[in-house]
């Protein structure tokens, strides 16, 4: 009887452990295709990490090989915003304020970039297909394609959160952005299936 109880408790512990891990690591199979629940779980974890300034969780969600940071001044430099940014950075360089220190520039602040987080339900957020050209473009050239993807959506006028995904499911993007006088401004968190896990691979800020 005791042996049966032990086996049952072991099974429950293992199942709970797998469930918790799935929230942050949807799959370990390199051929895995993310399901909608996988995607929502990753976005929920990203929401928690940013809103709670949870550095450890943020690092767990990021591609350990680096995150590409992009900061572009699509509305002009306004008299001196400094140079634009496009570089790959180790996610472990993030500080307790959820900022990446940038040499000779103001820090790259993720909390300021995504002010609508936390999101109560990602299932309720609108979805839109990314322009196909993102598949073959560097992240610092995504701005016109992101704008094309958002044109005509209600979110482009209100900066309400929206999720963009590429046609072949290579990229999933959480966006808080709007089009003002035909200029796209806002923030984008880009996730991609890497080594069998959906990981944060780029952050794009358009000012």
72-130 pLDDT per residue, tens = 987 665 555 667 899 999 999 999 999 999 988 889 999 989 999 999 888 889 999 99
State the first-to-last Cα distance of the chain, in angstroms, to the nearest integer.
66
Residue 7 pLDDT greater than 70, yes or no? no
User: What does the CA dihedral 130, 133, 134, 135 come to, rounded to 10 degrees?
Assistant: 110
Mean pLDDT confidence for 134-149: 93
Domain spans in the chain, listed from the N-terminal domain onward: 2-206
Mean pLDDT confidence for 56-61: 97
Sign of CA dihedral 177, 65, 72, 81: positive
Query: What would the pLDDT profile of 179-206 be if each residue is shown by its tens digit?
Result: 998 999 999 999 998 877 899 999 999 9
Cα 139 from Cα 58, distance rounded (Å)? 20
Cα 185 from Cα 199, distance rounded (Å)? 24
User: What does the CA dihedral 55, 61, 62, 65 come to, rounded to 10 degrees?
Assistant: 110
Two structure tokens written together for 41 = 């779980």
Cα 90 from Cα 80, distance rounded (Å)? 27
The whole-number pLDDT of residue 90 equals: 97
Cβ atoms of 145 and 133 closer than 8 Å: yes
């Amino acid at each position: 009887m005791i042996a049966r109880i032990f086996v049952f408790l072991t099974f429950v512990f293992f199942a709970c452990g797998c469930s918790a891990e799935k929230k942050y690591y949807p799959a370990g199979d390199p051929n895995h295709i993310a399901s909608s629940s996988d995607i929502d779980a990753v976005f929920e974890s990203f929401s928690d990490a940013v809103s709670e300034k949870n550095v450890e969780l943020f690092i767990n969600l990021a591609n350990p090989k680096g995150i590409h940071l992009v900061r572009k001044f699509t509305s002009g430099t306004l008299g001196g915003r400094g140079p634009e940014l496009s570089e790959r950075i180790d996610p472990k360089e993030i500080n307790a304020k959820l900022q990446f220190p940038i040499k000779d520039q103001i820090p790259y602040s993720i909390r300021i970039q995504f002010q609508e987080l936390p999101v109560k339900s990602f299932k309720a957020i609108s979805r839109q297909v990314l322009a196909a050209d993102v598949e073959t473009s560097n992240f610092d050239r995504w701005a016109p394609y992101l704008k094309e993807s958002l044109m005509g959506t209600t979110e482009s006028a209100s900066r309400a959160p929206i999720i963009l995904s590429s046609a072949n499911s290579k990229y999933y993007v959480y966006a808080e952005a709007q089009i003002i006088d035909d200029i796209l401004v806002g923030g984008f968190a880009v996730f991609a299936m890497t080594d069998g896990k959906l990981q944060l691979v780029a952050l794009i800020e358009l000012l």
